[in-house]
Amino acid sequence: MYLSVQVFKQKTLTFVASKTMTDTLGVFISEAGTPTTTTHGVREQNQREAALADFRSGRRPFSAVAERGLDISGVDHVINYDMPKEIID
């Protein structure tokens, strides 16, 4: 129990391949009790900025994103849930 509580206080950034899977994974993790945020290109810029601010501050330590190339310091775990469609990503 102690391990799981500590892990979910650390920042975990999860990359997914599609916008739909980003939201699906975010809902799944949130329903499991972990504060989660998601971001992808369909969201308005202010929504994406708010989601990343919540993640950076630790208010929502788990983030599922459909965008590669984010540079965020202090991330404890990075998960490639899906591989990107393009190798450059």
- 27, part of any domain: yes
- 25, part of any domain: yes
- 88, part of any domain: no
Which residues, 6 or more positions from 40, have their beta carbon under 8 angstroms from its beta carbon?
Answer: 19, 22, 23, 48, 65, 66, 67
- 86, part of any domain: no
Sheet arrangement for strand 36-39: 36-39, 62-65, 12-15, 77-80
C-alpha span between 75 and 55 (Å, rounded): 9
Q: Which SS3 state, helix, strand or coil, does residue 30 take?
A: helix
Q: How many domains does the chain have?
A: 1
- 36, part of any domain: yes
Q: Per-residue confidence of the chain (89 residues) as pLDDT tens digits?
A: 444 555 557 899 888 888 899 999 999 999 988 899 999 888 899 998 999 899 989 899 988 887 667 778 889 988 888 876 766 65
